[in-house]
């Protein structure tokens, strides 16, 4: 039997026994994250699935999944495996994002703003890696599914900032975004919603993510996305490292309307995990410290304006504050160190710092796909760090995948770094030595891989055999990984 339009054949009633009504149907559309299973050693073919998500961050990538039934083009046989195309638009669910509800959002396609995206059902191009491969073993599962990958943002930075300001102004009532779906072929008559729709009759318009439990909100965060070195879905491009062209590993989504920083890691098979969220502050930039003798302190630096006890748990005991913004820290074991402002007359010469988690213990997946980010602190109260530098440190921890990494500190919340004179502003990480030369070398290599350019060691035991390091006085009890190269972080603007 051919295609039957009941309006053309009013003599055929719905209870006609031999009649099967086949209606193209858009059953569901939702925002999603990709979940990949398998793909580890020994080699198994990975499979891919999608989980609905109900929260997004301005500027991050998400998938839009549209599920259909019988979505054969009108001019094709019903048993054809060809599928028609859909047009997907994002709509404001309220006034919070643009000032107008039910407005079509202009989102970037990578180069310009678009108000809709057209995709053929069953096309899995959005699952390709950067080399154009798509190695999932279950692509047949998606013959009736449209898959779109979008960055949730307008193209221009100024528009991004407008959205961010509006999100900020909406407070805890975050803006919602709905998904609008129509067939590309205007002559195609479709039903919306699941056939056994228990919520009521099928939706008359193709609007999704607007029912209770299926809403999607957009929030402001600063975001660092960190990649496994061999992740083939990382589109950040390459740079030269040790005379070798390698993929970049860290990107940054800057959002001036948030003081929170979220860290995500994409593992080898491109599963994404949230590692932690930290609060960011902005403080005056400081120079490297100077050693000050007791005599010098007594005679030249007794004009401090105030003094307070240093944060508990570290080597510093007292901080002295001066009219020119400098700070002198004192502790019994190391004496006095002075940290002057880099630009005493420029209040805008600031650095970003995050307060790091007190201990981190993340563990997802196994084998080559493992995402283990674990460290603890020892003998230090220096728990602030440049936010990008901390992204590098997370990359190091996950590349090592160890449980015994001990951090001996970065910097304080005022950007000083007592007793170290070399890492104000939190661009360096001190760690205790691991147990053998071989595994400590892996740590050195990981710090290099994640953009730390200056690695300092001591001169006892096997420490001099660590390649890609330099000797520096005072490093027999810890490795110093410093001068994190901010320029290697890809800022997505």
- Specify the residue, 142 or 452, whose C-beta has the smaller distance to Zn ion: 452
When asked if residue 427 is in the footprint of Zn ion (CB under 5 A), the reply is no
- Specify the residue, 145 or 420, whose C-beta has the smaller distance to Zn ion: 420
Least distance CB 299 / Zn ion (angstroms): 29
Which residues are CB-neighbours of 31 under 8 A, at least 6 positions away? 52, 53, 54, 56, 62, 63, 64, 65, 177, 179, 209, 216
Cα Dmax for the chain: 108
The Cα 246–Cα 239 span in angstroms is 6
Least distance CB 396 / Zn ion (angstroms): 14
- Which long-range contacts link 37-42 to residues 24+ away (Cβ below 8 Å)? 38/137, 38/269, 39/135, 39/268, 39/269, 39/369, 40/268, 40/269, 40/366, 40/367, 40/368, 40/369, 41/367, 41/368
The Cα 310–Cα 327 span in angstroms is 11
Which one of 265-273, 347-355, 418-426, 431-439 is the stretch in contact with Zn ion (CB under 5 A)? 418-426
Least distance CB 390 / Zn ion (angstroms): 15
Phi, psi of 473 (to 5 degrees): -50, 140
Residue-level length of the chain: 493
When asked if residue 420 is in the footprint of Zn ion (CB under 5 A), the reply is yes
Least distance CB 456 / Zn ion (angstroms): 7
- Specify the residue, 261 or 411, whose C-beta has the smaller distance to Zn ion: 411
Which one of 37-45, 129-137, 226-234, 412-420 is the stretch in contact with Zn ion (CB under 5 A)? 412-420
- Per DSSP, 341 falls in state B
The Cα 59–Cα 221 span in angstroms is 9
Query: Cα separations (Å) of 59 from 252, 253, 392, 479, 493?
Result: 10, 7, 21, 36, 9
Find the binding residues for Zn ion in span 287-326 (CB under 5 A).
Answer: none
Find the binding residues for Zn ion in span 434-493 (CB under 5 A).
Answer: 480
- Specify the residue, 93 or 458, whose C-beta has the smaller distance to Zn ion: 458
Least distance CB 423 / Zn ion (angstroms): 5
Q: Is 57 exposed, middle or buried (0-12, 13-18, 19+ CB in 10 A)?
A: buried
Least distance CB 453 / Zn ion (angstroms): 14
Angle at CA of residue 284, ends 281 and 285, nearest 5°: 110
Number of residues that bind Zn ion (CB under 5 A): 3
Least distance CB 457 / Zn ion (angstroms): 11
What x/- string results for residues 238 through 277 when contact with Zn ion is judged by CB under 5 A?
Answer: ----------------------------------------
* C-alpha torsion sign, points 209, 212, 218, 221: negative
Which one of 29-37, 183-191, 381-389, 414-422 is the stretch in contact with Zn ion (CB under 5 A)? 414-422
- Per DSSP, 486 falls in state G
Which one of 9-17, 55-63, 381-389, 429-437 is the stretch in contact with Zn ion (CB under 5 A)? 429-437
Q: Is the peptide bond before 473 cis (omega within 30 degrees of 0)?
A: no
The Cα 173–Cα 161 span in angstroms is 18
Which one of 106-114, 318-326, 420-428, 483-491 is the stretch in contact with Zn ion (CB under 5 A)? 420-428
At residue 470, the 3 state secondary structure works out as strand
Least distance CB 173 / Zn ion (angstroms): 45
Exactly one of 67, 430, 440, 445 binds Zn ion (CB under 5 A); that residue is 430
When asked if residue 83 is in the footprint of Zn ion (CB under 5 A), the reply is no
The residue sitting closest to Zn ion, measured at its beta carbon, is 480
- Specify the residue, 265 or 484, whose C-beta has the smaller distance to Zn ion: 484
Q: Which residues bind Zn ion (CB under 5 A)?
A: 420, 430, 480
């Amino acid at each position: 039997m051919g295609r039957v339009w009941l309006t053309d054949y009013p003599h055929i009633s719905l209870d006609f026994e031999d009649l099967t009504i086949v209606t193209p149907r858009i059953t569901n559309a939702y925002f999603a994250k990709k979940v990949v299973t398998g793909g580890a050693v020994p080699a198994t073919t990975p499979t891919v699935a999608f989980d609905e998500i109900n929260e997004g961050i301005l500027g991050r990538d998400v998938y839009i999944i549209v599920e259909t039934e019988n979505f054969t083009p009108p001019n094709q046989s019903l048993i054809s495996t060809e599928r028609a195309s859909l047009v997907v638009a994002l709509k404001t669910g309220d006034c919070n994002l643009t000032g107008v509800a039910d407005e079509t959002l202009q989102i970037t396609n990578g180069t310009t703003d678009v108000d809709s995206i057209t995709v053929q059902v069953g096309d899995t191009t959005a699952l390709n890696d950067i080399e154009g491969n798509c190695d999932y073993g279950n692509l047949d599962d998606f013959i009736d599914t449209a898959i779109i990958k979008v960055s949730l943002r307008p193209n221009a930075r100024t528009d991004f900032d407008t959205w961010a300001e509006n999100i900020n102004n909406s407070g805890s009532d975050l803006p919602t975004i709905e998904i609008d779906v129509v067939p590309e072929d205007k002559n195609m008559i479709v039903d919306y919603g699941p056939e056994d729709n228990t919520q009521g009759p099928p939706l008359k318009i193709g609007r999704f993510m607007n029912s209770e439990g299926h809403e999607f909100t957009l929030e402001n965060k600063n975001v660092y996305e960190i990649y496994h070195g061999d992740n083939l879905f990382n589109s950040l491009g390459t740079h030269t490292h040790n005379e070798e062209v390698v993929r970049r590993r860290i990107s940054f989504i800057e959002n001036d309307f948030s003081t929170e920083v979220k860290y995500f890691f994409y593992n080898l098979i491109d599963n994404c995990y949230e590692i932690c969220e930290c609060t960011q502050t902005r403080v005056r930039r400081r120079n490297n410290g100077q050693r000050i003798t007791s005599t010098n302190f007594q005679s030249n630096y007794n004009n401090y304006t105030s003094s307070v006890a240093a944060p508990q748990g570290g080597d510093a005991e007292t901080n002295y504050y001066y009219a020119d913004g400098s700070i002198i820290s004192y502790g019994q074991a190391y004496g006095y160190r002075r940290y002057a402002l880099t630009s005493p007359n420029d209040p805008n010469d600031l650095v970003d710092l995050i307060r790091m988690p007190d201990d981190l213990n993340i563990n997802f997946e196994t084998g080559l796909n493992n995402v283990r980010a674990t460290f603890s602190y020892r003998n230090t109260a220096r728990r602030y760090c440049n936010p990008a530098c901390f992204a590098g440190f997370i990359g190091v921890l996950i590349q090592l995948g160890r449980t015994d990494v001990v951090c001996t500190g970065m910097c304080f919340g005022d950007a000083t770094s007592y007793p170290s004179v070399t890492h104000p502003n939190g661009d360096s990480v001190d760690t205790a030595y691991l147990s053998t030369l071989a595994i400590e070398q892996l740590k050195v290599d990981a710090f290099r891989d994640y953009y730390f350019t200056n690695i300092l060691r001591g001169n006892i035991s096997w420490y001099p055999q660590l390649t890609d390091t330099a000797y520096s006085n005072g490093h027999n009890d810890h490795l110093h990984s410093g001068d994190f190269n901010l320029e290697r972080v890809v800022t997505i603007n």
